[in-house]
Structure formats: structure tokens, C-alpha cells
Amino acid sequence: MKSLFLLVVVFVAVRSDNDDHAARLLASKSILNQFIVEGKELTVEYSIYNVGSSQAYNVELSDSSFPEEDFQRVSGSLNVKWDRLAVGANVSHAVILKPLRPGYANFTAAQVKYYPTEESQAVQVGYTTAPGEAGIVGLKDYERRFSPHIVDWATFAIMTLPSIGFPFLLWYRSKSKYDVKHKKN
Amino acid sequence: MATSTKMLALAILAVLPVLMKASTCIGPQVTSNVYTTSEASMSISTVFVVEVAVKCNNGEKDLLLFADVNGHMVPATQSGTGKFQVSWSDEHKKLPAGTYGVRFFDEEGYNAVRKEKRSGTDGSTVTPIFTVNVKHSGTWTGPYVQTEFVATCVALLVWYMAYRSKSFLMS
């Protein structure tokens, strides 16, 4: 009798409450850059997945971690919404920004708001993953390492001309004198 | 009396389509802004961002748009009244330079395309509300040859020419 009673208790406790048919959104935010350089594009990609058992309604993504004075918007919008997100579906959103200042930047999470069911009155608030802290390289440092330096090489070539050209000129002068003598003979 | 009821029924039938809320756009005026990744070091995958601002002749404000992106149907993100954004990304190799056509559908069109896809065809016969052409000039992954390599070759060439003429003179 006791074991049966225990079994019933365990069964009731273990029975999970998954029958509420609500949407559950998982969101990720990632920076697609290999290098984040001042004055060059910064690509941010957001992905939202619905892993719940119902459609999500009025899904709103808003990112306020890129202040206007530090990041210039190139393409895409930081406050967007989708009407519905079906069960098991995922959407991705990309924003292109341009960092205006070098230094360390902390990329924090963006906010996702949605209604888990059609009738729900309370909005569900969630957050994306945060890429964390990253350094924004100054443009001069990046170019010193990565630009083709064509002007520098051209300058170098011009600078080597005297040390190569001067002896060559001397030799050529004496050669042409010798050739003239040879022709005379 | 019968005719008056008939007339009433006809009148209602005529008015019904206007009363029904059909979120479709008649005569859309579209301004689009397109961005594609230009340098591979700035992004590990090529990203396309298409921003459109749509103005409908019938003043439709609650438009829901879906876009056909490389054979995949995605809902267009709403970034304001009449403003939509579609973005997608893939590896650099899979998105070479060229023109990509992005077709935009309303709900009716979206359902039509889904039905066609379920019956096996690729849904390309459904007319979109409008199409945006995305011109991608390719993602630059670096110069063909490094300038250091070119400089080394030129230096070796100059040395070789000098060496040859020297050995020729000495012989």
C-alpha cells in the first residue's frame, strides 16, 4: 500500500506541465566581424527561434546597446517587429553599423518582447545572448597591418633608384664611349 | 417585394469585398535600399540587407509582407509603418557576385507559393507584389598577390639582370 501511494505521489510530481501551449523564443545576437575596425562596417546578426508549442505574436526586437554617437547606422534597423512567429520557425535579422571611435566596447544583449499566446495580455520579455566585450581597432593600426602599402613600396622603389641608377649610369657612359671607339676602328 | 429583397442581397454582395479587410497592396510605390558585404574580413559570412519603404495606392497600412529569399520564404521584418527589411546571410562561396531577385508577396501570394511548393513546383509562377534586385559585386577577400611579393619579384628581377650583364661582361 505504502509503495503504491509513493508511486502515485512520484507520478504526480514528475508529470510536467507542458500542456499550456505557449510560445517560447530563444534569441541570439552575434557579431560576424573578424576584426572590428573604426570606420569600417560592423555586422550584427540576430536569430530568433520559436521552441514553444504555440505561435508567438507581436514579436519585437529592440537593441539599445549601440548609442548614436558611437555607432553610425549603415543599414538595417535596431527596432523591428514580426507579426507572428510559427512553431519551430526561426527568423534572422541583420544590422550594419560603423563604429566611430576606437577602444573597448561591451556588446550587451538586446531585448525581445512577445505575446506567448493569442489571448495573453501580459507581454513576455526576454533577452538575446550578449557577444561580450571586444576591442575596436583604430583605422591607422588596422591599415598598418593589412593595407597593401602601394604608396610605401613606390616610394621605396624611387628611393633605391639613386643607389642603383648612379653606378649604372657611370658604366653606361663608359660603355658608350668604348662602343664609339670600336666603331671608329 | 421579392425584387426589393433581391436588390438588397445584390447590393450587399457588391459592397462585401470592400467591407472585408483584405490586406493587399494596390499599386505599390517602392523605394529600396540594399547593402551587401564588401570585405570578407568585416564579416565571416556574406550578409545581404534589403530595406524597402512601401506606399500603397489604396492606403493599406497593415500590410504583411513575405519575401522569397533564394527559394526560402521568410516574413519581412517591420521596422516602421510601411517600412520592411529582409536580411539573409550565407558563406562567401555560396553568394558569389551577381544580381539576386527578391520577390515580395502579401499573405495571399505567400499562401499561394506555399501551396505550389507543397504540390512539388517551386512557386515561381505566382506573381509577387514587387521585386527588388540586389546587385552584389562580390566579397573582397584580399588582393590576388601581395604587394610584398611583387616588390620581392621586382628586386630579384633587377638583381638577375645585373648579374647576367656582369657575367656577360666578364666573359
Interface check for B64 against chain A (CB to CB < 8 A): the answer is: yes
More confident position, A20 or B79:
B79
Query: Least CB-CB distance to B85: which of A34, A42, A77?
Result: A77
How far apart CA B136 and CA B37 sit, in angstroms, is 8
Q: Is B87 on the interface with A (CB under 8 A)?
A: yes
- Determine if residue B35 is left, alpha or beta; phi over 0 gives left, psi from -120 to 50 gives alpha, anything else beta: beta
Classify residue B39 by its DSSP letter: B
Residue B25: all three cell numbers together? 497592396
From residue B162, how far is each of A157, A172, B1, B53, B167 by CA, in Å?
Answer: 16, 13, 114, 65, 9
pLDDT value, residue A182: 66
- pLDDT (tens digit per residue) in B157-167: 989 998 998 89
Nearest 5°: the CA angle A35, A39, A41 is 55
**What average pLDDT score do residues B107-135 get?**
85
Residue B23 predicted with pLDDT over 70: no
CA of residue A27 relative to chain centroid, distance:
15
**pLDDT score of B40 more than 60:** yes
Question: Strands, E, within chain B: which ranges?
Answer: 29-36, 46-55, 66-69, 72-75, 77-80, 83-90, 98-105, 130-136
3-state SS, residue A14: helix
What local confidence, expressed as pLDDT, does residue A179 receive?
79
The rounded mean pLDDT for chain A is 87
Q: Kindly identify which residue of chain A lies nearest to residue B74, measuring between CA atoms.
A: A91
Question: How close A20 gets to chain B, by Cα (Å)?
Answer: 26
A138 touches chain B (CB under 8 A): no
- Chain A CA closest to residue B86: A93
Beta carbons of B52 and B30 less than 8 angstroms apart:
yes
Subunit contact A32:B43, Cβ cutoff 8 A: yes
Contact across the interface for A41 and B89, Cβ inside 8 Å = no
The whole-angstrom distance between B45's CA and the closest CA on chain A is 7
Spatial distance between the Cα atoms of A93 and B87, rounded to a whole number of angstroms: 6
Contacts of A93 in chain B (CB under 8 A): 77, 85, 87
What strands lie across the sheet with B130-136, from one edge to the other?
B72-75, B66-69, B98-105, B130-136
Which tops the pLDDT comparison, B17 or A83? A83
Q: What is the distance between the alpha carbons of residues A184 and A123, in angstroms, rounded to a whole number? A: 104
Residue carrying C-alpha cell 505521489: A9
Tell me the whole-structure pTM to 2 decimals: 0.77
Nearest to A132 by CA among A30, A41, A61: A30
Decide if A32 and B150 are in contact by the 8 Å CB cutoff: no
Q: CB contact, 8 Å: A30 with chain B?
A: no
Say what the pLDDT of residue B47 is. 92
Residue B152 forms contact with A (CB below 8 Å):
no
The residue-averaged pLDDT of B13-33 equals 69
CA distance A51 to chain B (A): 17
